[in-house]
Structure 1
Amino acid sequence: MAAIRSQTRLLHPLPPLSLSHSFSASPEIPSVSGDANDNLVSTAVSILRSQRCRSRWNFLKSILPSSGISPSESSAILLHLRNNPRLALRFFLWSRDHSLCNHNLTSYFTVIHILARSRLRSAALSLLRAAIRSHPNTPPSSLLQTLALTYRHCDSAPFVFDLLIQAYLHSHNLDPALSVLRSLRSRGIRPLTSTANSLLRATANLRGSAAAFNLYRDLVESFRPNPQTFNTLLLALYRDGRAESNGEILAEMDRFGCDPNAFTYSIQMAGCSDVTEARRLWEEMAEKGIKPDTAAYNTLIKGYCEAGKVGKGEELYREMVMEGLKTTGTTLELLIKGHCRAGNVEAAMLVYEDMRRKGFCPEAEIVDEMLVEMCEKGMVEEEGLGVFRGEMGREGVVLGIRRRSYEVVIMGLCGAGRMEEASKLQAEMAGRGLEPDARVYEAFICGYEKAGEFEMADKLRKEMVQMQLGEDGN
């Protein structure tokens, strides 16, 4: 971090007039409307402007050549419609979807520039992604060059270059996005802060915190970092288990005058080795007048529950509700898990029931943890079976977790001597394609032995041995 130079001024993209001078023309890139049929273009534009009903598309199609129109003619028509960007977009999509024009990059970028100049970012970004998909073998440098050479002619907006980077990122193509960034920076065109943050986030997710830091060091002179920038880096450190390096990021925040927010503190608290340190950060946040958000509450609740202080977690939960913050499924799952680990399955059940009343569905792992505790407390026969039946009817339960839930309930029923019910549940389990493992066999064997049915227990023991031999292939 020491290598970061102290450049803090806000840098903007260069004005539009300088863009065309930064790129050289290529014979492979056609002009926007160089070979257009002027009569055809003017007639098409007249129809599009004058006909205000659906029939204009049929009328327009009737006057077009049977071979359709060229990309240059399409671009010329689009330029005449640039003050009506939505109509321009409809014409482009109509000509593409009806195979009336084999659009090239120039015609794609013409409509993209028209959308950008009207600040229709989402539509422009969507078409940029489509242009990239339709030209998979075109290198990023060529796409950028075409975008730049059509820029001025269409009177576009500078953020269109950031959209090209975003289009690559949306397609999970980090290297092309970085290539475009380098090309733009070599021509003095700086990324927007939002684009720089997206690049940092993608780099952190795909390549880790070290790569994200290297990119930050490279970019820091080219954009003005904001709290989201540093939160991205802090989160990357946390995910990589490098929370001890948080101080460097916080020093950078201070140097750029970026005040930490609730999420900044949440990330730091999540990386604390003990709940005492997390509480210190919580109090520091309060001293600075920063109101904790749901993520901050969840982080501290998790810390208390993992430290065996579930009562403190419950206090925070009540405080959270009093503050008017919406609780999430995660909040309640943390409390359920905390109560289970503390051996208080009755309290866990109360939270579980509250969770279902609020419309949240617990993760299957949480249900398993509750069932295990119920089994140990002898509660699986009624309460546990009820929870199991309710959750097994819910969609989206992972198959592997369903197996675990079945096993827990079957073992609990066998332990309680309810062999008939356990057998029915095992048949249901098999009907779902889930074969019993050694633990289920052992539960049935122990259950039958307790009930004095030694013959059945012996048969199952032999079957288990045969099953294990079969799995080993011997």
Structure 2
Amino acid sequence: MAIQVLKQFCKTPRPKAWALLFSSSCSNHDSQSFVTNVVTILINHRSKSRWSNLRSACPNGIDPLEFSQITLHLKNKPQLALRFFLWTKSKSLCHHNLASYSAIIHLLARGRLSSDASHVIRTAIRDSDQTDDQNCRFASPPLNLFETLVKTYRDFGSAPFVFDLLIKACLDSRKVDPSVEIVRMLLSRGISPKVSTLNSLITGVCRSRGVDEGMEELWHEMRSNCKPNAYSYSVLMTAFCDEGRMGYAEKLWEEMRNEKIEPDVVSYNTIIGGFCKIGDVARAEEFFREMALASVETTASTYEHLVKGYFSVGDVDSAVLVYEDMSRRDLRPDASTLDMMVRLLCDKGRVQEALEFLRCAVSKYDLIPREKSYEVLMKGLCFEGRMEEALKLQAEMVGKGFQPKAEIYGAFVDGYIRQGNEEMARALRKEMLQNEMQS
């Protein structure tokens, strides 16, 4: 249905829409004969002779209208059209405008060459941003490109997702405002971009303007024109969770369930992570249990959220249980998770247990601990008078590329003083001072 509406939206009277977009006249030679000659060379000549013959055939260059006409003859040869476009750019043979850019963009979209089309879209926006074109209706280059793509859509037999590519290119360039306007113009005509595109747009709006504007400005429009998926809800829930507004996140969760949309692993991880962030680990555990009952497979992120939650409230025993369950499932922890476990255990005086956690993570997952993990462990070992083990750990830390800081020297000095080894303490103080002078 959207494609039919789009064709009607893009329908324009003859002559061809792209021909109306040029104010300049063609060059002095017979334009149609020139176009035919170039197309013949492109299609029939071998690649080795093609470009030299083309160069000879274009002594005066190619104007944008001629480029569009040539491209139109290559509708079923998008790769060849792309090479032709890149050749004109590399040789500076055509001063491309939005209409000629639109021609190649349409062909690439029609041929499902998404990455190439996205690259040309970004180039078109950048180039038109540096050109003062009096024929353009908007002050925004993306909106002018959108209008040109609409006018030329039907003639080139383009694909609807060409507008998705334009929206995503704008978002990648952090041009959120024109992205919103393009979506609104499409939705107002009954044309809905892909749900994934709308999800990206909501994410962009929430990041640049805040979640409230993302909700008010886009969410209701999106819901009235297409059906959001679980990821759509996760996008908004993430924004609320980042701000600690879990009441709003839960309302979205309830709305998702009322819409008969089953939460996926991203949804569960989002809501669990949100509650862990505010220290409500009990509520996070409820969703964790619900996740298991729904047969949604847990990931490393699920467990890491819970470890962080228990870390934030200082519940070392629960954090250990979650970490061990994670390890039994062969889910690889992040270095930050290991760092939290080491710090939490050392803070509770369980240095040996923390050391075992580190050794296991290194041997089982080939994990490289953070510098902070080494520092906390060495302080704990020195405090317990286990100087030989602390020295071995220091050597391992240096082997990983970390250099001992003043507080580590301080921990060793204190440890040796408690043992009555004043000579070693003096030597370490001297070494510390020398290192400070060199740095």
TM-score normalised over the length of structure 2? 0.73
User: Alignment RMSD, CA only?
Assistant: 4.8
Equivalence for 2:41:
47
CA displacement at 1:203 relative to structure 2: 1.6
CA displacement at 1:417 relative to structure 2: 4.7
Identify which of 145, 161, 164 aligns with 1:162: 164
Q: Is the 8 A contact 1:279 1:300 kept in 2?
A: no
Q: Is the 8 A contact 1:340 1:373 kept in 2?
A: no
- One-letter amino acid of the counterpart of residue 40, structure 1: F
Equivalence for 2:134:
none
CA displacement at 1:435 relative to structure 2: 5.5
Equivalence for 1:293:
297
For the structure 1 residues 85 and 339, does the alpha-carbon distance in structure 2 shift closer, same or farther, using more than 3 Å as the test?
same
CA displacement at 1:82 relative to structure 2: 1.0
Query: Which stretch of the first structure deviates more once superposed, 212-221 or 424-433?
Result: 424-433
Identify which of 343, 352, 376 aligns with 1:379: 352
Query: Which stretch of the first structure deviates more once superposed, 163-172 or 176-185?
Result: 176-185
- One-letter amino acid of the counterpart of residue 298, structure 2: T
Equivalence for 1:231:
234
For the structure 1 residues 232 and 13, does the alpha-carbon distance in structure 2 shift closer, same or farther, using more than 3 Å as the test?
farther
CA displacement at 1:447 relative to structure 2: 2.1
Alpha-carbon distance in structure 1 between the residues aligned to 2:98 and 2:70: 16
For the structure 1 residues 76 and 32, does the alpha-carbon distance in structure 2 shift closer, same or farther, using more than 3 Å as the test?
farther
Equivalence for 2:405:
436
2:349 is the alignment partner of 1:342 = no
Equivalence for 1:152:
154
Per-residue CA deviations over 1:347-388 (Å, capped at 9, x if unaligned) read: 968976x79xx6947415514633774794463998589579
Equivalence for 1:408:
376
Identify which of 84, 106, 115 aligns with 1:113: 106
Alpha-carbon distance in structure 2 between the residues aligned to 1:362 and 1:340: 19
Per-residue CA deviations over 1:248-306 (Å, capped at 9, x if unaligned) read: 43565467x442233444544444534367437844984xxx431335x9647854x67
5 Å-filtered alignment, 1:361-400, equals 362-364=334-336, 366-367=338-339, 369-370=341-342, 373=345, 376-377=349-350, 379=352
Q: Is the 8 A contact 2:272 2:287 kept in 1?
A: no
For the structure 1 residues 214 and 457, does the alpha-carbon distance in structure 2 shift closer, same or farther, using more than 3 Å as the test?
same
Q: Secondary structure at the match of 2:212?
A: helix
Q: Is the 8 A contact 2:163 2:193 kept in 1?
A: no
Identity %: 31
Alpha-carbon distance in structure 1 between the residues aligned to 2:179 and 2:113: 21
Identify which of 282, 294, 314 aligns with 1:275: 282
Structure 2 spans left out of the alignment, 5+ residues = 132-139
Structure 1 spans left out of the alignment, 5+ residues = 1-9, 309-333
5 Å-filtered alignment, 1:299-378, equals 299=302, 303=306, 341-342=316-317, 360=332, 362-364=334-336, 366-367=338-339, 369-370=341-342, 373=345, 376-377=349-350
Alpha-carbon distance in structure 2 between the residues aligned to 1:184 and 1:38: 35
Identify which of 100, 112, 125 aligns with 2:93: 100
Alpha-carbon distance in structure 1 between the residues aligned to 2:164 and 2:153: 13
CA displacement at 1:88 relative to structure 2: 1.5
Q: Secondary structure at the match of 2:129?
A: coil
CA displacement at 1:210 relative to structure 2: 0.9
Q: Secondary structure at the match of 1:179?
A: helix
For the structure 1 residues 47 and 221, does the alpha-carbon distance in structure 2 shift closer, same or farther, using more than 3 Å as the test?
same
Identify which of 121, 129, 141 aligns with 1:128: 121
- One-letter amino acid of the counterpart of residue 369, structure 1: M
CA displacement at 1:75 relative to structure 2: 1.7
Per-residue CA deviations over 1:127-161 (Å, capped at 9, x if unaligned) read: 21232233334623322222223223323234323
Alpha-carbon distance in structure 2 between the residues aligned to 1:158 and 1:271: 37
Between the two proteins, the alignment pairs up a number of residues equal to: 414
CA displacement at 1:80 relative to structure 2: 0.9
- One-letter amino acid of the counterpart of residue 446, structure 1: D
- One-letter amino acid of the counterpart of residue 335, structure 2: E
Equivalence for 1:57:
50
Alpha-carbon distance in structure 1 between the residues aligned to 2:37 and 2:421: 93
Q: Is the 8 A contact 1:419 1:447 kept in 2?
A: yes
Query: Which stretch of the first structure deviates more once superposed, 458-467 or 79-88?
Result: 458-467
Per-residue CA deviations over 1:315-342 (Å, capped at 9, x if unaligned) read: xxxxxxxxxxxxxxxxxxx9xx999922
For the structure 1 residues 223 and 91, does the alpha-carbon distance in structure 2 shift closer, same or farther, using more than 3 Å as the test?
same
Equivalence for 2:145:
143
Q: Is the 8 A contact 1:95 1:101 kept in 2?
A: yes
Alpha-carbon distance in structure 2 between the residues aligned to 1:170 and 1:365: 31
TM-score normalised over the length of structure 1? 0.68
CA displacement at 1:413 relative to structure 2: 4.9
Q: Is the 8 A contact 1:441 1:460 kept in 2?
A: yes
CA displacement at 1:81 relative to structure 2: 0.8
Q: Is the 8 A contact 2:342 2:354 kept in 1?
A: no
- One-letter amino acid of the counterpart of residue 168, structure 1: C
Q: Is the 8 A contact 2:211 2:236 kept in 1?
A: yes
- One-letter amino acid of the counterpart of residue 275, structure 1: A
CA displacement at 1:78 relative to structure 2: 0.7
Equivalence for 1:14:
5
Per-residue CA deviations over 1:414-436 (Å, capped at 9, x if unaligned) read: 34656577568768878957452
Alpha-carbon distance in structure 2 between the residues aligned to 1:306 and 1:359: 16
